[in-house]
Structure 1
Amino acid sequence: MKRHEIREKALQVLFQLENTDLTLEEAISHIIEDNEMNPFFKTLVYGVTKKLQEIDHQLEEKLENWSLYRLPKIERTILRLALYELLYMDETPSAVVLDEAIELAKTFGDDKSSKFVNGVLSKFVEQ
């Protein structure tokens, strides 16, 4: 599985957690088979859930005229996933993380999602 597909599946798991009463393991089992769970997927999903408060705190500081919980859920989930990669996974270049997040926003969000995601994440890359 390509990393883009892995990010899509990780996004789907994290989105389920945001919108249902499923446990992490249940959400994962709805999206992938056990034999598909590669190390990159595990790092993303478990990492975001473990560091969620820190990630949300970082996002809140960069959102101008928005609160994190006013954001559409899909955009919030994409931002969390991308920010985890930017802050905690040095092996992926920040430009790749940004491009991937924008693509996810185009696929799963609305017409304005990709520009919004790009604008927020660019503030982290510029630091």
Structure 2
Amino acid sequence: MKRHEAREKALQTLFQLEGTELTIAEAIGHVMEDETDHFYESLVKGTHSNMEAIDEQLKGHLEKWSLERLPKIERTILRMAVFELNYMEDAPSRVVMNEAIELSKTFGDEQSSRFVNGVLSKVTNESQN
């Protein structure tokens, strides 16, 4: 499975998990059926287990927005991208940002990609300083 497809499937899985009683294993089973992919599982499990720290970081970069007020799809994309930027060292930040923007174009509304780009630019600028 290519990483772009793994990111799409991870987004779908994490989206399912928010606000439901599903376990990670159940959500993964709904999306992946019998398929397995190490990158996908790392992204899902890592984002989910580090969500509190990721949310705290995101809150510092949202202007005039609260994390809770964000549309669920944008919140999920941002969480996944911040996890990948902070905890996975094998993808350059430009690639992670581009993938998040593409996901927001596909799954969000017409404003999503600009919003995601703006927030992630602040996150990456912070980590480079």
Asked if Structure 1 and Structure 2 have the same fold, meaning a TM-score greater than 0.5 normalized by the shorter chain, the answer is yes
Q: Does residue 70 of structure 2 align to residue 56 of structure 1? A: no
Distance apart, 1:19 and its partner CA: 3.9
Shift of 1:24: 1.0
**Residue 96 of structure 1 aligns to which amino acid in structure 2?**
V
Alignment of 1:28-67 (within 5 A): 28-34=28-34, 36-67=35-66
Name the structure 2 match of 1:98: 97
- Which stretches of structure 1, 4 residues or more, deviate above 3 A after TM superposition? none
Q: Unaligned stretches of 5+ in structure 1?
A: none
Cα distance in 1 between the residues matched to 2:89 and 2:101? 19
Provide the C-alpha distance between the structure 1 equivalents of 2:18 and 2:41, rounded to a whole number of angstroms.
18
C-alpha distance in structure 2 between counterparts of 1:105 and 1:70, whole Å: 17
Residue 113 of structure 1 corresponds to which residue in structure 2? 112
Residue 62 of structure 1 aligns to a residue whose secondary structure is coil
Number of residue pairs matched by the alignment: 126
Aligned to 1:69: 68
RMSD: 0.9
Deviation at 1:60, TM superposition (A): 0.5
Q: Deviations over 1:77-100 (max 9, x none)?
A: 000000000011111000000000
**TM-score relative to the length of structure 2:** 0.94
In structure 2, how many angstroms separate the alpha carbons of the residues matched to 1:111 and 1:23? 32
The sequence identity of aligned pairs, in percent, is: 63
SS in structure 1 of the partner of residue 18 of structure 2: helix
Q: Give the TM-score of the pair, scaled to structure 1.
A: 0.96
